[in-house]
Structure 1
Amino acid sequence: MKNLKITTLTINPSLDKSTHFTGLIAEQKIRCEKPRYDAGGGGINVSKAIAKLGGKSTCIFTSGGSSGEMLEELIAKESLENVAIKTKNWTRENFIAFENVSKAQYRFGFPGNEFHEDEKDEILKTIKELKTDYLVISGSLNEGLATNFYQKIATIAKESNIKVIVDTSGEALKKVLETGVYLIKPNIGELAKLIGVERLELSDVEKAAKKLIEDKSAEIVVVSLGADGAILVTNEETYLVKAPKVEKKSTVGAGDSMVGGMVWALSQNKTLKEVIRIGVCCGTAATMNEGTQLFKAEDVMKLLEELN
């Protein structure tokens, strides 16, 4: 494996199928337009986002069955440096449908199939052999995986002095924070759960993020605020960036685009203020496109100019 600055890990990728249709009526056949297929899953989307910004990364993912083969073909078309870890069970598929009249988007996500023990061991072995500056662990866990699986991966990576960036949720996120990582990107609701409160107001976010930093759960906490943008917090710095106003067509991949923009900026030795600005603009630009297309680099540049 090449020694690139950034590596992404997607253990629960998906073959994303998206389409358009008109009219949603129960028990009637819905005529859909020709589907579009995309390689999906948190880390894969992060790698695609980095490539759109002119960067490079190694994309590690699991792949099984015919859906996995198609996933590999789609990733190859993106010209991403990649490592496919073969599995006996098939890669999952997700379905996204856009209703033409109402402009409503329907997203159907399916769970990932279970891994065999040797496949789990292969994932951990791949991380042990990794040579990279940043490891982005992104996405959900497969069925049957222990909630501490990401924690195991983070522990291995930290032993190699790799900066670990985590974008997941629930118990998997709580567990990995026991080890402590470089950067996390919860939304405001997830942050509330992490510090044990029911909800947080915007004015409480910085204090809550600093509590995680004081507990050595993460060095950098970036809290996604949806349409309000995001806030980046460290021990010494806090930056709130409002999301530029755009016409939204889809929110699919917006969070992954944001992570991709931030890790690319970190790899380019940008300041933390620049990191969060680029991240917010990548996430916002992704909402300007339908389906699972992420963002256009020219849209990111335009939005960055608007922030100045």
Structure 2
Amino acid sequence: MILTVTPNPAVDQTIEMDEEVQADTVQRSTDAQFNSGGNGINVSQFVSALGTETVATGFIGGFTGYFIEQDLVEYDVPTDFVEVDGETRINTTLLTPESEYHINQSGPSADRDAVDELIETLQDHDPSVINIGGSLPPEMDAADVDRIASAGDWDTALDVHGELMIELDGEYEYCKPNREELTAATGIEVETIDDCAEAARQLQERGYERVIASMGGDGAVLVTPEETLYAPPLDVDVVDTIGAGDSMFAAVLWAYEQGWDDERALRAGVATSAQLVSVKGPSVHELDPEATMDEVRVWSMRA
């Protein structure tokens, strides 16, 4: 079972307007929507869509936390969150004809007692893999992440900010950085596939057994203890890229759960990401990477 930990989830509010924002003026939106947000939550939704058992956990609070629990019911994702004082944050994206604005809240604090309760929750479920993803709430730090990772007999996957990755002391089975996170973690400006491979290898040498690096429209690189693999994206009509990296990571973890090898896991990740970007929105009810996996090309790169 793949259990996901979202330490600082959010309700993502997207507001659309047909005119630019003006100061000291009351304006009306043309559309608005709310979604459960956070890397771990996204991964659980995609794992469920792939047909594998999952549980979403982390810290929630207040009516916004309740919204996340109820929203995930719609996607057949079981939840077991730890409640903390305060309100789960709301992250707002405002879309106008010419601009895009983002306002992210900090979220409620998660102290040591809350982390201890989260660890007990994980131990009760006894998953084979846990995925810790997204930002950390106030009061939680790298030592807490190391403590969660080492608290059970599970493999740990990470999708966190690059600055946090270099603060961690433990050894981790999987991590999924993007270009910006690779640069923050290694100092390497990732402009080419070779740059990506070099930065990912540096992370692998620091204790991340398998690095699945997302390059967006340029594909993905997988660095393992034995080899470095590269796969370009499938040629599809892109409708919406939100959640593409999370869907790729979810499918890679799902593939390893099936006992697949590195190359086949990378193919599954790229195929799943291609399927997701072909539809609007990050939430889907069913994913089938095996339908297009054979179309994914994979090359072995020299170190």
Same fold (TM over 0.5): yes
Q: Please say which of residues 144-153 and 195-204 is displaced more in the overlay.
A: 195-204
State which of 44, 48, 51 in structure 1 corresponds to 2:48. 51
Q: Does the CA contact (< 8 Å) of 1:64 and 1:86 recur in 2? A: yes
2:137 matches 1:131: no
Displacement over 6 Å in runs of 4+: none
Amino acid at match of 1:112: G
Q: Does the CA contact (< 8 Å) of 2:186 and 2:199 recur in 1? A: yes
Q: Does the CA contact (< 8 Å) of 1:18 and 1:291 recur in 2? A: no
- State the partner residue of 1:194: 185
Q: Does the CA contact (< 8 Å) of 2:163 and 2:181 recur in 1? A: no
Task: Note closer, same or farther for the CA distance 1:187–1:74 as it changes in structure 2 (3 Å cut).
Answer: same
Q: Secondary structure at the match of 1:115?
A: coil
Amino acid at match of 2:265: V
Q: Does the CA contact (< 8 Å) of 1:285 and 1:295 recur in 2? A: no
Q: Does the CA contact (< 8 Å) of 1:289 and 1:295 recur in 2? A: no
2:170 matches 1:170: no
Q: For residues 183 and 87 of structure 1, what CA distance do their matches in structure 2 show?
A: 28
- State the partner residue of 1:65: 62
* Residue-by-residue CA offset, 1:97-139 (whole Å, 9 max, x unaligned): 444x56x755443222212443232123323444111111111
Q: For residues 280 and 146 of structure 1, what CA distance do their matches in structure 2 show?
A: 32
Q: How does 1:204-243 map to 2 (within 5 A)?
A: 204-215=195-206, 217-243=207-233
Q: For residues 271 and 260 of structure 1, what CA distance do their matches in structure 2 show?
A: 15
Q: For residues 85 and 266 of structure 1, what CA distance do their matches in structure 2 show?
A: 28
Task: Note closer, same or farther for the CA distance 1:118–1:66 as it changes in structure 2 (3 Å cut).
Answer: same
TM-score by structure 1 length?
Answer: 0.85
Q: Secondary structure at the match of 1:182?
A: strand
State which of 185, 203, 221 in structure 1 corresponds to 2:194. 203
* Residue-by-residue CA offset, 1:46-97 (whole Å, 9 max, x unaligned): 0000111122212112221111111111122222122121111111112234
Query: Tell me, which stretches of 5 or more residues in structure 1 are unaligned?
Result: none
TM-score by structure 2 length?
Answer: 0.86
Count, aligned residues: 296
Q: Please say which of residues 200-209 and 66-75 is displaced more in the overlay.
A: 200-209
Q: Secondary structure at the match of 1:95?
A: strand
Query: Tell me, which stretches of 5 or more residues in structure 2 are unaligned?
Result: 298-303
Q: For residues 242 and 27 of structure 2, what CA distance do their matches in structure 1 show?
A: 22
* Residue-by-residue CA offset, 1:20-57 (whole Å, 9 max, x unaligned): 33122322444223532222111111000011112221
Q: Does the CA contact (< 8 Å) of 2:111 and 2:140 recur in 1? A: no
* Residue-by-residue CA offset, 1:167-195 (whole Å, 9 max, x unaligned): 0013322223x211001111233223333
Q: Secondary structure at the match of 2:41?
A: helix
Q: Does the CA contact (< 8 Å) of 2:45 and 2:283 recur in 1? A: no
Q: Does the CA contact (< 8 Å) of 1:89 and 1:115 recur in 2? A: no
Task: Note closer, same or farther for the CA distance 1:193–1:25 as it changes in structure 2 (3 Å cut).
Answer: closer
Q: For residues 198 and 236 of structure 1, what CA distance do their matches in structure 2 show?
A: 24
State which of 254, 265, 277 in structure 1 corresponds to 2:267. 277
State which of 242, 251, 254 in structure 2 corresponds to 1:261. 251
- State the partner residue of 1:245: 235
CA-based RMSD:
2.5
Task: Note closer, same or farther for the CA distance 1:115–1:106 as it changes in structure 2 (3 Å cut).
Answer: same
Q: Percent identity?
A: 27
Amino acid at match of 1:248: V
> How big is the shift at 1:235?
2.0
Task: Note closer, same or farther for the CA distance 1:182–1:16 as it changes in structure 2 (3 Å cut).
Answer: same
- State the partner residue of 1:11: 7
